[in-house]
Chains A and B, each alone.
Chain A
Amino acid sequence: MYVAAKGGEQAIDNAHALLAEARRGDPSVAELGIDQIREQLSLAVDRVMAEGSVHDRDLAALAIKQARGDLIEAIFLVRAYRTTLPRFGYSEPLDNTRINARRRISSTFKDLPGGQVLGPTFDYTHRLLDFTLAANGEPPVAPVADEPLPQDMPRVLGLLDAQGLIEQERDPDPDGPVGDITREPTNFPADRDQRLQTLARGDEGWLLALGYSTQRGYGKNHPFAGEIRMGEIAVEFAPEELGFAIEIGEITLTECQMINQFKGSRTTPPQFTQGYGMVFGQSERKAMSMALVDRALRAADLGESADSPAQQQEFVLSHSDNVQATGFVEHLKLPHYVDFQSELELVRAMRTAMARQTAEAAE
């Protein structure tokens, strides 16, 4: 007698036990500490914080450990944890003129007040495997400048704006509510606040590919990296019972302001346009890609045709979230017996009907 295959709780429990064992790897190798991940895999931690939308280095490090280094899985863990956190309110808008920069570069001016500050970057390294790291080589000590960087480095786009050379999207209602994609479903067409929020937590690879596509002719917008900054910035929060804002901490951010192709008409003098990117932690790849895609998505607002994938907001925004994407792609692993059976029945019935028709025609 046939007994139907059972999914079985025991099988699931056993699979989880096997997963835990596989995560640990060879037990004779020392276990990885959360602090080691936080300190030595810091860019992975940054990505998990940014796309997980929670700024907490220890939680992100824990998620990376639990996910065996699968960053999308780690992002998913952090997002699910985020759901359980109570919402106290919204912080004050960050004052991005007050980024305490560790890195600040512009590709549009050779020199500018505050100078080009390279900071900790892979940019000019030769990508040669450093075998001293395999032997636990200690890094050389980085020299310290005689004096700290000035706090009031002017912004490149501010310099252009002062001369009317760059268009600015002026918020028609600066005191109005700002959208919150984690609390309200996005309605299309989406405004720029919702678009930027979606891009900020969007998948780095997705944004990179879309940004890249604009550079290859699919929605070209002539970008220049006007200014890129990475550093620490204070977060302020105004508790209702206090009535004024207090500083509650400091976060690391990467910001990119892209300067794009100019436009003008017979009546308005030409101006450059811009795209904006901002990400938790250190990730210039993501911040720059985000700025390219933000600019591409402004095509309709700026009166350009929007024929390329990166310019179509439903396409870009609806597919940017890697937690959603990985869930839906991987759900194909779930059983689909019933739907497949329905299709099988239909195909067989159609084949039978066709065979009958052929037989009748032959008679």
Chain B
Amino acid sequence: MTATTRDPQYNFAYLDEQTKRMIRRAILKAVAIPGYQVPFASREMPMPYGWGTGGVQVTAAIIGPDDTLKVIDQGADDTTNAVSIRKFFARTAGVATTANTTEATIVQTRHRIPETPMVEGQILVYQVPIPEPLRWLEPREAETRRMHALSDYGSMHVKLYEDISHHGRIATTYDYPVLVNDRYVMASSPIPKFDNPKMDNAPFLQLFGAGREKRIYAIPPWTAVKCLDFEDHPFEVQHWDDACAICGATDSFLDEIVTDDAGGRMFVCSDTDYCSGRVAADQKESAA
């Protein structure tokens, strides 16, 4: 854990208190209607749209001085955008930050769910670029809201079926659509479908913030999250023939690293905390 000092020129966590209250109300509504996209008056933040402004606003609205924050991008704590967002909260909220998933009370993420299982009391905040799962089927917002209201999800199933008829399988690998609490079809955000099973009946609260699109949605703890599929084409996750070249894990999402220009490549854990934790545990064991 790293202690930080707050910049007194800004209100705690940057946003003013009225704005935080407005966002908290949207979050409460989102929690009350799992998977439903709640419009909120998203603010301009000092980082660009598409770089996590929704997640940052959600985190700013829920974070308190005693929280410990972890920020990841692609599973890693040290990618440039994760570093930038962590620094932002260190500066404006002065909260403790960590790379350790178990130490964190709030984890803000882009594109991954940590490999280390999160527990009750922790909150996972997702950065969402396009919150509307039906957007690629219907560009008009007025129309997609109507489709959600009527649970008119036939076109989504047709899309998945067309995948199967073209490619022999469902060809969606990330932002895989899910049905939340048996009611709303929801965008899982661009996490790999590998991570989708972690959303189902999770003990922790999951909040989703889309700043540019001005939407917040949520999955409360212990809520059913079902990946859309067919009986004869059940949902399945990616798997690798390789193990992580650093820690040897065979159960984590692996990033491919190109090692030379002659086709050489290796695979390593995308979750850097998980990977380094396994290496440290190994070293401890061999030392003992």
The interface of chain A, by Cβ under 8 A from chain B, is 1-2, 4, 6-9, 11-12, 76, 79-80, 82-84, 86-87, 182-189, 314, 318, 323-324, 326-331, 334-339, 341-346, 349-350, 353
Contacts of A331 in B (CB 8 A): 48-51, 129
Q: Which of B198-206, B218-226, B265-273 is the interface stretch?
A: B265-273
Nearest-neighbour CB distance to chain A for B253, whole angstroms, equals: 7
Closest to B245 in A: A2
Does B190 interact with chain A (Cβ within 8 Å)?
Answer: yes
Q: Is the CB of B10 within 8 A of A182?
A: no
Nearest-neighbour CB distance to chain A for B199, whole angstroms, equals: 16
Of B82, B175, B238, most A-chain CB atoms within 10 Å: B238
The CA of A289 and the CA of B15, in the complex, are separated in Å by: 34
Q: Is the CB of B268 within 8 A of A327?
A: no
Q: Is the CB of A338 within 8 A of B192?
A: yes
Of residues 28 to 83 in B, which have CB atoms within 8 Å of A's CB atoms?
39-46, 48-51, 53, 73-76, 78-83
A to B CB contacts below 8 Å, 21 in the list = A2-B266, A7-B78, A8-B78, A9-B78, A12-B80, A76-B48, A79-B44, A83-B46, A84-B16, A183-B41, A185-B41, A188-B141, A188-B142, A314-B140, A314-B141, A334-B80, A334-B110, A338-B270, A339-B190, A341-B192, A342-B192
Contacts of A184 in B (CB 8 A): 41
The CA of A331 and the CA of B192, in the complex, are separated in Å by: 18
Given known pairs A323-B49, A334-B73, A350-B169, the reply for A84 and B11 (CB within 8 Å) is yes
Given known pairs A188-B141, A350-B167, the reply for A6 and B78 (CB within 8 Å) is yes
Q: Is the CB of A80 within 8 A of B44?
A: yes
Interface of B is mostly: loop
Contacts of B73 in A (CB 8 A): 334-335
Q: Which of B115-123, B150-158, B254-262, B280-288 is the interface stretch?
A: B254-262
Does B168 interact with chain A (Cβ within 8 Å)?
Answer: yes
Nearest-neighbour CB distance to chain B for A194, whole angstroms, equals: 12
Nearest-neighbour CB distance to chain B for A209, whole angstroms, equals: 19
Of A11, A183, A334, most B-chain CB atoms within 10 Å: A334
Q: Is the CB of B140 within 8 A of A328?
A: no
Q: Is the CB of A330 within 8 A of B10?
A: no
Contacts of B169 in A (CB 8 A): 349-350
Q: Which residue of the partner chain, among B40, B87, B171, B270, contacts A185 with CB atoms under 8 Å?
A: B40
The CA of A324 and the CA of B49, in the complex, are separated in Å by: 5
Closest to B192 in A: A342
Of A83, A87, A318, most B-chain CB atoms within 10 Å: A83
Nearest-neighbour CB distance to chain B for A8, whole angstroms, equals: 6
Q: Is the CB of A9 within 8 A of B39?
A: no
Q: Is the CB of A80 within 8 A of B193?
A: no
Q: Is the CB of A335 within 8 A of B79?
A: yes
Contact mask for chain B residues 4-26; partner A; CB cutoff 8 A; 1 contact, 0 none: 00000011001110110000000
Contacts of A4 in B (CB 8 A): 76, 246, 257, 268, 272, 275
Does B194 interact with chain A (Cβ within 8 Å)?
Answer: yes
Q: Is the CB of B238 within 8 A of A342?
A: yes
Contacts of A328 in B (CB 8 A): 49-50, 129, 212
Nearest-neighbour CB distance to chain B for A80, whole angstroms, equals: 4
Contacts of B78 in A (CB 8 A): 6-9
Nearest-neighbour CB distance to chain B for A309, whole angstroms, equals: 12
Q: How many A-B residue pairs have CB under 8 A?
A: 156
Q: Is the CB of B112 within 8 A of A338?
A: yes
Closest to A76 in B: B48
Q: Which residue of the partner chain, among A1, A9, A342, contacts B173 with CB atoms under 8 Å?
A: A342
Does B148 interact with chain A (Cβ within 8 Å)?
Answer: no
Closest to A86 in B: B16
Q: Is the CB of A338 within 8 A of B255?
A: yes
Closest to B141 in A: A188
Q: Is the CB of A344 within 8 A of B256?
A: yes
Of A334, A338, A339, A353, most B-chain CB atoms within 10 Å: A338
Contacts of B254 in A (CB 8 A): 341
The CA of A183 and the CA of B26, in the complex, are separated in Å by: 13
The CA of A82 and the CA of B43, in the complex, are separated in Å by: 9
Q: Is the CB of B83 within 8 A of A342?
A: no
Does B278 interact with chain A (Cβ within 8 Å)?
Answer: no
Closest to B240 in A: A345
Given known pairs A80-B44, A80-B46, A83-B44, the reply for A345 and B173 (CB within 8 Å) is yes
Of A12, A79, A324, A353, most B-chain CB atoms within 10 Å: A324
Does B174 interact with chain A (Cβ within 8 Å)?
Answer: yes
Q: Is the CB of A185 within 8 A of B79?
A: no
Does B91 interact with chain A (Cβ within 8 Å)?
Answer: no
Q: Is the CB of A341 within 8 A of B140?
A: no
The CA of A185 and the CA of B212, in the complex, are separated in Å by: 10
Contacts of A349 in B (CB 8 A): 169
The CA of A76 and the CA of B42, in the complex, are separated in Å by: 15
Nearest-neighbour CB distance to chain A for B69, whole angstroms, equals: 16
Contacts of B175 in A (CB 8 A): 339
A7-B76, A11-B80 provided; 14 other pairs, C-beta below 8 A?
A7-B79, A83-B19, A83-B44, A83-B45, A84-B11, A188-B142, A314-B142, A326-B48, A327-B53, A330-B50, A335-B74, A338-B74, A339-B175, A341-B192
| 5 nearest CB pairs, A to B | A327-B49, A331-B50, A327-B48, A342-B173, A328-B50
Does B234 interact with chain A (Cβ within 8 Å)?
Answer: no
Q: Which residue of the partner chain, among B15, B40, B142, B253, contacts A338 with CB atoms under 8 Å?
A: B253
Nearest-neighbour CB distance to chain B for A64, whole angstroms, equals: 17
Closest to B43 in A: A83
Q: Is the CB of A342 within 8 A of B174?
A: yes
Nearest-neighbour CB distance to chain B for A63, whole angstroms, equals: 12
Contacts of B87 in A (CB 8 A): 9
Given known pairs A7-B83, A331-B129, the reply for A339 and B257 (CB within 8 Å) is no
Closest to A9 in B: B83
Closest to A182 in B: B41
The CA of A310 and the CA of B98, in the complex, are separated in Å by: 48
Q: Is the CB of B270 within 8 A of A337?
A: yes
